[in-house]
Structure 1
Amino acid sequence: MTVEVRREAGFVLVGVIWFLACMALMVAAAVTWIERSRQAVEAERQLLQQSFEERSLLSRLTWMIATHRMTLGGVTTPDSPGVESGDMDGSVMSAGGEIPVDGREFCLLNGYCLTLIDRASRISLSGSQPAVLNALLLNLGVPPEDTPRMLVELARYLKNAPVGMSQRPLLSPMEVFVLPAWRPWEERLVANGWNDVATVNETALNLNTAGVRVLTDGWNLPDGSLQRLLGLRQMHPILSSADLESMLGSYATSIPGDGWSRLPSSVLLLRLRRVDGEQRYEYQLSFESNDLRLPPWQLLPRRTLPRHALSAIVPVATHATPGILAAPLVAGPWR
């Protein structure tokens, strides 16, 4: 009898131990699930807060750009001096206190960095000569035997415009990959930075804002002439063919007169990021509204940037910030 009682007590003890072990595992699993859920909620909260901050800064930039002039040097800030009276076109006169639109990063004292990019600083698929597009494709890794067919298909696609239009308006540089000759090269071109060097619906390349890669890949500028142009245009914007000849010398004769421009586009590209974060989106802001019922600016579809997207030019140091941008961003209950 004593042996049976002990055996039953042993079974009960083992059962209690297993029960406690199972309960401990369930508690540990519950704690782990709660912690992971809390981390996921915190990550979503931070992402939402960052989205609020980006939208706040984007609204301030939109207001500032829409209510102040855009010159060859960049976007004029509220602290910039007024334009002097004279016969010269005011849009090309020098102005101080500007935010550059050539892809340089402008870091603010409120913890955010912004990059303004002139859309005309990229090679336009609908406004560039075939030789420029051919050079661009070759430098992005397309074999020379395939580029003629690609350019022919693009020309036919642009000519097949809707009724009443002289040329089909492209919606984005990615639209060309619907063409059979372009489709096999989509992955390679996108991986090599297609969206950072190509654009659509621009008439000419703005030499005052074009980046190094565009000028080398599309226009094949030699390194010596390229560095000279980049250095001189920061001191004196390119306003005429004489300025271009003084910067490039004899090489300027190889650049077609209708292939370059001195003025920025009406569409501005904006990139925002925290000082300690990465750029996530490229916003498109258009200031050419033909409908009086709409505001003078319109946000076009944004583009998601690849991870570790690099700026066209090495980021510069933190600047003194224009008043409209210097104030703190969106205040939240979590701060």
Structure 2
Amino acid sequence: MMAGLRALLPDLRGRLADDAPLGPRTWFRVGGAAEALLQPADARDLATCLGHLPPDMPVTVLGACSNVIVRDGGIDGVVIRLGRGFSDIVVEDNGLVVGGACLDMTVAEHAADAGLKGLEFLAGIPGSIGGAVAMNAGAYGSDIATVLDWADIVTRDGNGVRLSGPALGFGYRRSALPAGSVVTRARLHGTPAAPAAIRQAIAQIRDSREAAQPTRARTGGSTFRNPDAAISDRKAWELIDAAGCRGLTLGGAQISEKHCNFMLNTGSATAADLETLGETVRRRVRERTGVTLDWEIKRIGRPAAPTTGDAP
């Protein structure tokens, strides 16, 4: 496969590696390898690459890998990960233009330095801007839909497109981002305010998150979405707690005692442990409360191949 890819991408300016381990890149520290890992140099390099890849070649886009479980068998095809060429932050009047690889926390801090209020909530989201746009990430009373003016994307066929906020069809923890496309940068707006006051708000968010969430553990952020109000008036963590799942373990995976909508790798978990534990929680919540929780964490790739002696 790699020989074929290199032939398809003779002008690649970024990096291409085969059988690249992904587990160490994820916040859970689990998962198999990418069949091919592509790290384009910039948006033009990305567009050229996508334009030359066959339409039937599987392509998976990974960001900060904070809200994802990469299964133990790894990911087939090409995995794209954005690097330094997608991390610029430019301050404009009443807004920032930020690269898709920028960490949410970094964007919040730059907004504070620029005296722009309204982006503090990003300090409470573990991830990057590309992923935040793709899933309409939100926390502490705001979300991407509230602050996004436009996003530049490269589509699966290699075309660059700029989409406005309304064109992205944002909903709760979702967007209508075209399948296979990559967010390369976005413009986020804010309102002028005193930098000191913004920094204080960010500090409060950090303190609140530290007090309520297992931020120092190997975790992946919120495991399940909060159900629609028409289905339940309880948040996901309340339903999980009501089903008796706080602290539940399976192999090296555990439901956090501190915040039971967080799963932990206690040190020896596999991706299969984490996913199976999550499905166990979903089943128990459904049986106890009648509510079916939807995953917020993405599970991607192939399960590990059965070892000799395993049942087919």
Give TM-score, length-normalised by structure 1: 0.27
The answer to which structure has the higher strand fraction is: 2
- Taking CA–CA contacts closer than 8 Å with sequence separation of 6 or more, which of the two structures ends up with the larger relative contact order? 1
TM-score normalised by structure 2 residue count: 0.28
